[in-house]
Structure 1
Amino acid sequence: MAKKADEGFTLVEQNVYPVPDIPMKDLLAAIPAHCFRRSALKSLVYVLWDLFVIGCIYKTTSYLDSFITPATLDLPHPYAYTALRVALWAVYTFFTGLFATGIWVIGHECGHQAFSESKAINNLAGFILHSAVGVPYHAWRVTHAKHHASTSHLTQDQVFVPHTRSELGLPPLNPEGENLLGSRVSEVVKRELWEALGDSPIGAIIGSAKYLLGGWPAYIIMNASGQKRYPKGTNHFNPSSPMFGTHHYNQILISNVGIALWLVALGVSIAHWGFSTVLVVYLIPYLWVNHWLVLITFLQHTDPLLPHYRASEFTFARGALATLDRNLLGDCGSIMAWIGAHATNGISETHVLHHVCSKIPHYNAWEASNALKKLLKSHGVPVEGAPGGWREVYRVYKECKFVEDEGEVVFFKNAHGVAQTRPAMPESSASDSGIEVGK
C-alpha cells in the first residue's frame, strides 16, 4: 500500500519475497513417488475425452441452430434470428477453444516426455496433436525446454522476458528521487515515468487485448516477448535459427512439414465446406486456443509478486518457483472455475509443480501439487496468484512495466516506478538447472 509523505515522496509498504534456497532433492522428495508414473493409455483417454466433448459441443450447437427459424421461433425482427444464431455459435467457439486448449496442453506434455514412458510415442503423439493446432512441435519443444531450464533468468529465459529501464528508453535511475527497490519515489519522478510510459485504462485494455490475440503467432514468427539477445528475424521455422543447435536441424524441418500439412488441410477444408463454415467451426476456436495459451502463460510468469534473476543469483530451483498457480476463470464463479481447470487439464492450477518436474503428467499433477505446496508454504514461498482471467491480465499488464538494469534479484515496477515486492535473500545459494535442453 502506498502513502504520501510530507516531503513529496510516495512510500510503499512492500511485500517481502523470501528468495528460496531449497535443494531440488527436497522439492522432488515432497512429491509422492507414484505421481511420476506415466501411462500412454491414460494420456490417450484424456485426448479422446477432449475430442468427445468438442464433438458433443458441435452436435448440440448444430441441433439448437436447426430450431432458429420462423417455423419454430417467433422473433420480433428478421435480424433477431441472425443475432441469436451468432450468439449460439459464439458460445460454441468459446467452449470449443477452451477444450481444444486441453489438447494443446497434452501435446505440450508430449514435448516434456510426460505422455508416455516411450520417447517415440511421446514425439509421435506430440507431433500430431501440436500440428493439429498449428504448433511447430519440435521447434517449440526445444525452446520450451530452454524456458524451463532458465525460467525468470533475465538473459537466458526464452519468453516473457521483462523490459529493463534502459531498453524502454526511460530516464536513468535517480537516487535523489527514487530508490532501487521502488519503495520510495518522488512525485517528480513519478510524473516523469508516467509521461514516458503512458498507462491510460483504454491503452491498457487495447495493449492487453493485442497481446492476447496476437502474442502467440508473434512469438513463433518473430520472437516477440522472447529473449532479446537473439538477432532480429529469429523465429521457430528457420532450422538455422540461434534458438536451435545444429543437431536440431532435421527436427525443425519435420515441424515445418507438420505446419505445411496443417495449412493444406485448412485449404482443402475451405474448398470443400466453404470459408465461413471453417471460420466458425475451426478458425475462431483456434484463435481462442491461442488466446488461452497466452493468457495462461502470461499470468503464470508475470506478476508484481514474482522475481526475475540475473546470473549470479539464478538457480534452477529458484526459477522453477518463480511462477504462480492460478484458477483459470475462477473470477467467474465456482462452476466456470471447474470448467476452466477441467477443460485445460489443470495447466494453470498446477504450474509451479510443472516447473519443478515437467515429466509428471497432468492427471497426477493435482496430488503432486498439493504435496509440494505444503513444503513451499512452510518456507513462505508464494505459490498461488489471483484467479486467471481478463481482469487479472489487465491488472498485471498495468502493474508490470519494467525492471531495473541494476540488482541481482529484481521485481516489476509500474508506470510510476513503484514496485510492490522486494527480495529477502537467504544466507547462501547453490544449485544448477538439472535440465537437458540439447536432445
Structure 2
Amino acid sequence: MTAVYSKEAFGKNTTSEISDLRLKDILQKMPREIFIRNPRKAWTSVILSILMVGLGYFGIAISPWYLLPLFWVFTGTALTGFFVLGHDCGHRSFAKRKWVNNLVGHILFLPLLYPFHSWRILHNYHHAHTNKLEHDNAWQPLKPEIYGSLGGFGQWIYRQVRGWFWWVGSIGHWALLHFDWRQFQGKERQQVKVSVLVVLAGAAIGFPALFATVGVWGVIKFWLMPWLGYHFWMSTFTIVHHTTLDVPFTAPEEWHEATAQLAGTVHCDYPRWVEFLCHDINVHVPHHIASCIPSYNLRAAHQIIKENWGDAVKERRFSLALMKEIAQECHLYDENSNYQSFKTYHAKQSIKL
C-alpha cells in the first residue's frame, strides 16, 4: 500500500506530493565523498573526545563543591561524544575494517556501561522501522488502548517518562533491553553475550577500584553524576529526533520508508558547544537517510537534503518551549493528529464513565 502523507504531516511549507519518493532518489543526490570514511577525521574525533572527557574529570577533581554541577554537565556531554563515536562504529562508518569498529565501539561504550553489540543490533532495527507503529523500538507513542490496559502504576510510569522526566527514559531502555542476550538468535546472541560480559567485567573491576580509591562520594562525583548527564542527552536527543507534534507515526501497512526517514526525523539546533562535544549527532536527517554517513559529513549531507527536499525537512531549536510541547502534548498515538495528550485521553475516559 502506498503511503499518502498530507501537507500537515510534513509541515506547513510542503508544496509537493512526495509519497512516491524512494531512498535511492535521495541517495543519488549525494556526492560520493559524503560516504567516504576519513581515518584522520575519525581518529581526531576520538582524541578530541578523550581530551574533553579528561578535561571534565580534571575539573571535577579540583573544583569546589559549588562548581561541581558545571563540570558534571560538561563531562556528561563530553561522554555523549564517546557514545556518538561508538554509534559511528556500530554503523560501520568509523573504520573500514569491522574488527576496528567493534574494538573501538566496545572501548568507547565501556565507561557508559553499554553493551556494544546489543545496542548496535537494536539500533539498526530502529533504523529499519523508523516511526513505524508497534515496531520502532525508540520512543514510539503507545496506542490509547494499550496505555489503558497498563494499570495505575504502569500508566504513572509511562506518564513520567513521556512527560517532564523524559531525561531518564534512556536509562530504562538501557537496563531493560540491552543485557538479555536470550532475545537474540544465532551469531547475534553470541556477539551480544560477549558485549554484556565485557561490560560486567569492566564494572566488576572498575567499581571496586573506584570505591577503594575515592570512596562512595567519589563514585557519585566521578561516575554517577556524569553518567546521568550523559543519559540526559541520550534521552533528549532520542526523543527530540522523532517526537514533535508534526512527526507522524504510521501503521505498518501504511509505512513508507523514504518519507518516514525524511519527515519522521527532526533536525534540532542545540548550543554550539553541545554540538561540538557530541559530534553533530543532532544533524539527524541524513543519518536516517543513510546511516553509513560518518558524523563529520552530516552537515554537508543535510545541506544537500535541504536544497532538494527542504519543504519536508523539520528543523527545530532546542528550547524550553520545544520540550514543553513534547512533555505536555506528545503522549499517545492518534491517527488523525499524530498525538493525543494524557489530559485529552483521561478527559475522554471521564466522559465515557
Q: TM-score, normalised by structure 2?
A: 0.85
1:381 match: secondary structure: coil
> Given residue 33 of structure 2, which amino acid in structure 1 is its aligned partner?
H
1:168 match: secondary structure: helix
Q: For residues 106 and 113 of structure 2, what CA distance do their matches in structure 1 show?
A: 10
Which residue matches 1:425? none
In the superposition, relative to structure 1, how do residues 204 and 159 fare at CA in structure 2: closer, same or farther (>3 Å)? closer
Aligned-pair Cα RMSD in Å: 2.5
> Given residue 287 of structure 1, which amino acid in structure 2 is its aligned partner?
L
For 1:410-429, what aligned pairs fall within 5 Å after superposition? 411-415=338-342, 417=344
Per-residue CA distance 1:54-97 (angstroms, 9 max, x = gap): 2233435545x3xxxxxxxxxxxxxxxxxxx2221111111111
Structure 1, unmatched stretches of 5+, are 1-13, 66-84, 171-196, 223-234, 329-336, 419-439
What's the offset of the Cα at 1:102?
0.9
Is 2:308 aligned against 1:375? yes
What's the offset of the Cα at 1:169?
2.5
For 1:152-231, what aligned pairs fall within 5 Å after superposition? 152-169=131-148, 208-213=163-168, 215-222=169-176
In the superposition, relative to structure 1, how do residues 291 and 159 fare at CA in structure 2: closer, same or farther (>3 Å)? same
What's the offset of the Cα at 1:16?
5.1
Which residue matches 2:292? 359
Question: For the pair shown, which has the larger CA radius of gyration, 1 or 2?
Answer: 1
Structure 2, unmatched stretches of 5+, are 1-6, 150-154, 346-353
Q: For residues 112 and 220 of structure 1, what CA distance do their matches in structure 2 show?
A: 18
Q: For residues 164 and 42 of structure 2, what CA distance do their matches in structure 1 show?
A: 33
> Given residue 359 of structure 1, which amino acid in structure 2 is its aligned partner?
C
For 1:5-84, what aligned pairs fall within 5 Å after superposition? 15=8, 17=10, 20-60=19-59, 62-63=61-62, 65=63
229, 236, 254: which is aligned to 2:178? Answer: 236
Q: For residues 120 and 162 of structure 2, what CA distance do their matches in structure 1 show?
A: 28
Equivalent pair of 1:309/1:410 in contact (CA under 8 Å): no
Which residue matches 2:332? 402
Which residue matches 2:257? 316
What's the offset of the Cα at 1:286?
0.8
Equivalent pair of 2:162/2:330 in contact (CA under 8 Å): no
For 1:285-324, what aligned pairs fall within 5 Å after superposition? 285-321=226-262, 322-324=264-266
Deviates more, 1:146-155 or 1:41-50: 41-50
Q: Provide the identity percentage.
A: 25
Q: For residues 294 and 390 of structure 1, what CA distance do their matches in structure 2 show?
A: 15
2:340 match: secondary structure: coil
Q: For residues 372 and 39 of structure 1, what CA distance do their matches in structure 2 show?
A: 22
Per-residue CA distance 1:252-289 (angstroms, 9 max, x = gap): 11111121123121222221222212321222101100
In the superposition, relative to structure 1, how do residues 374 and 20 fare at CA in structure 2: closer, same or farther (>3 Å)? farther
Q: For residues 132 and 324 of structure 2, what CA distance do their matches in structure 1 show?
A: 24
What's the offset of the Cα at 1:137?
0.5
Q: For residues 297 and 345 of structure 1, what CA distance do their matches in structure 2 show?
A: 15
Equivalent pair of 1:136/1:236 in contact (CA under 8 Å): yes
> Given residue 266 of structure 2, which amino acid in structure 1 is its aligned partner?
L
Equivalent pair of 1:296/1:388 in contact (CA under 8 Å): no
Which residue matches 1:255? 195
Equivalent pair of 1:105/1:344 in contact (CA under 8 Å): yes
What's the offset of the Cα at 1:392?
2.4
In the superposition, relative to structure 1, how do residues 401 and 209 fare at CA in structure 2: closer, same or farther (>3 Å)? closer
What's the offset of the Cα at 1:359?
0.8
2:230 match: secondary structure: helix
Equivalent pair of 2:210/2:218 in contact (CA under 8 Å): no
Equivalent pair of 2:86/2:105 in contact (CA under 8 Å): yes
Larger helix proportion of the pair: 2
> Given residue 55 of structure 2, which amino acid in structure 1 is its aligned partner?
C
Equivalent pair of 1:20/1:381 in contact (CA under 8 Å): no
270, 274, 278: which is aligned to 1:340? Answer: 274
